[in-house]
Amino acid sequence: MREVAVIGVGMNRWGELWEKSHRTIWTEAALEAIADAGVDRVDAMYVGCMSGGLFVGQEHLGAMLADQLGMGPIPGTRVESACASGGLAFRQACLAVASGAHDIVLATGVEKMTDVDGGAATYALSTAADQEYECYHGITFPGLYAMMARDHMHRHGTTRQQLAAVAVKNHAHGVLNPLAQFPMKVTAEQVMESVMVADPLRILDCSPITDGAAAAVVVPLDMARQLSKQPPVRVAASAHATDALALHDRADLSWLASTAKAAELAYKQAGVGPKDLSFCEVHDCFTIAEIMVIEALGLAERGKGGAAAASGLTALGGKIPVNPSGGLKSKGHPVGATGVAQIRETVLQLRGACGQRQVKNASRGLTQNMGGTGASTVVHILERA
């Protein structure tokens, strides 16, 4: 297998982009990544998208978006793994380069979510859970994470204030990200008094509905310097694991076994441990998710993620900054794009190009992108080459 590097990244401003179509927001991000890399061709492309069908009535995205890119009849493959679709598209691009099948591969993610109303969006997102044995009973995604939160609080003593601390931190980071959908500070009181969605989770515990796209150009490491003037970022690990689809089928309701497994594989591939990371970009679709994720990644002890989140450990300037981009919470969560946007942030951090939200001396970053209630996890570790 060849070693793989990222030489270009792209992303547009995320938000409610009523004036822009699914294909337009995707093409903007793709063109930016290609320009950033400085390449004049792409040999293949992968598109992470959770539900073009339910959000905009469009499938067959591999062909449609290859057509929009205008680079000829290149193979275009759509990848779906719910909210982990973007991370998995990036992984497929890495595997395509590593295997020798292609040299210059575009990894992308996109979701256009605001063309449908809230009920339809909630339904589209719920298709990541078990339709017949979870959703049939009126459960929602916030509801599933709320049940994980209540289990975590009951078993580990995690508090309402600790959940709020995750939102406060990620919004404070998002203020420093010019592309974030909600770049405003929130206080713990605002989070804890916001509208109830699924008890104990309130609206400010939830990531938003977002239109957006992100892209990255992946090449063999040994060709990176001849193809691009950008400092190459090496993909030190790429790992993927799954778990039972239905939350009620998991041995432990508030332990993310797929994240723990993918992290274990990634640490082994890269030959590093959690203490060797400069920062992480993780899947904070809900405040409780970030608490469970930092435990599964080994950044905090099992059951102690809440206390760790509230201690400042994971804030910019802390020992291990988590979500310097603002995370899904503040940056936005166009579900198929999220995993690729995590890669973009990590590449920019490793280039030292993140301005006010720059992690000092960033040399190695981890991304964790999760689908459903953790039935899929994709983990990557990137390093300065």
Partner 1 sequence: MIGSARYWREIPQRYRYEAAKCAKCGRVAFPPRLVCAGCRGREFTPVKLAQTGVVETFTVIHVAPTGFGDETPYAVGIVKLDDGVRVTAQITDCETGKLAIGDRVKLEFRRLQQDGESGIICYGYKFVPAIG
- What would the two tokens of residue 113 be? 């979510």
- The Cβ of residue 53 has, within 10 Å, a number of other Cβ atoms equal to 14
Query: Which position has the token pair 């406060």?
Result: 168
83 catalytically annotated: yes
- For partner 1, give the closer residue by CB, 160 or 384: 160
> Of 243, 207, 259, 254, which Cα lies nearest the Cα of 378?
259
d(CA 258, CA 102): 29
Is residue 305 a contact residue for partner 1 (CB under 8 A)?
A: no
Catalytic residue among 22, 152, 156, 333: 333
Q: Pull the structure tokens for residue 340.
A: 């690729």
Task: Please select the residue that binds partner 1; options are 27, 85, 92, 126, rule is CB under 8 A.
Answer: 126
Instruction: Characterise 77 by phi-psi region: left (phi > 0), alpha (psi -120 to 50), beta (else).
Output: beta
Q: Does 122 bind partner 1 (CB under 8 A)?
A: yes
Site for partner 1 in 166-205 (CB under 8 A): 195-201
Closer CB to partner 1, 200 or 274, in the complex: 200
User: Does residue number 384 form part of the binding site for partner 1 (CB under 8 A)?
Assistant: no
54 touches partner 1 (CB under 8 A): no
Which among 323, 359, 347, 40 is positioned nearest to 207, based on CA atoms?
323
Nearer CB in complex with partner 1: 18/136 = 136
The smaller minimum CB distance to partner 1, of residues 153 and 227, is found at: 153
Two tokens, residue 92: 């497929």
State CA 139 to chain mean position distance.
23
Residues 369, 296 contacting (CB under 8 angstroms): no
The one among 72, 136, 229, 275 contacting partner 1 by CB under 8 A: 136
Segment lying near partner 1 (by CB under 8 A), choices 25-33, 127-135, 299-307, 374-382: 127-135
Amino acid identity of 339?
G
Could you say which of 42, 106, 148, 337 contacts partner 1 (CB under 8 A)?
A: 148
Residue positions annotated with a catalytic role = 83, 333
| Binding positions for partner 1, rule: CB under 8 A | 118-120, 122-123, 126, 132-140, 142-143, 146-148, 150-151, 154, 195-201, 244, 246-249, 253
